[in-house]
Amino acid sequence: MRDLLRQVLDVLVLASAVCGLLLFAAAVIGFIAALIRVTVLGRVLVIPFRGSDERGMYVADVIGLDSEDVEIPGATKVERLLVPFWENGQHSAIPSISKQKVFVEEQRQRFSNIERYPSHLSTKLRQLRDDLVKRIRIDNSGWQEILNMPELVQQTKG
């Protein structure tokens, strides 16, 4: 009886390990799928941009397409916030925590009103989103031809 109990426990341990591996694999596959949705051949398709005025104060952020030149009203300079970290097998040096804190504080000083800071989609990205939403809302599935209502229901309606 003791041996049988030991074998059952071993099977349960093995089953839980397999389940854990399957969950891990599912998470990895989901992560890879998310990366593929956002990038194509290593190119990011949607980029955040930030505009600043002549004094260096931030004016607004715009999320736009990688292929477009974004213009931000009131900004004399527009820069990409997403820059390459890893290129040609080399990565940029990561600053120390103290340097990062100084950098963040300097950035915060450049927002005139951080609670009401404007951020929006570029015109091209908004149009792309709107077109996609329209395509999604159109029902071309043909379910009306496939689904036949039972005669009993049709008679009670008529």
Higher-scoring residue by pLDDT: 15, 119: 119
The model's pLDDT over 60-107, given as tens digits with 9 standing for 90+, comes to 999 998 888 899 999 999 999 887 777 788 887 888 999 999 999 999
Q: What is the spatial distance between Cα 114 and Cα 119, in angstroms, rounded to a whole number?
A: 11
pTM for this structure?
A: 0.57
For the chain, the average pLDDT equals 80
In this predicted structure, what is the pLDDT of residue 15? 66
Q: What is the spatial distance between Cα 57 and Cα 141, in angstroms, rounded to a whole number?
A: 51
Q: How many residues does the chain have?
A: 158
Q: Classify strands 46-52 and 77-80 as parallel, antiparallel or unpaired.
A: antiparallel
In this predicted structure, what is the pLDDT of residue 8? 74
Q: In Å, how far are 61, 65, 126 from 48, measured between CA atoms?
A: 7, 9, 14
Percent of residues, the chain, with pLDDT higher than 90: 31
Q: How confident is the model at residue 54 (pLDDT cuts 50, 70, 90)?
A: very high
In this predicted structure, what is the pLDDT of residue 109? 93
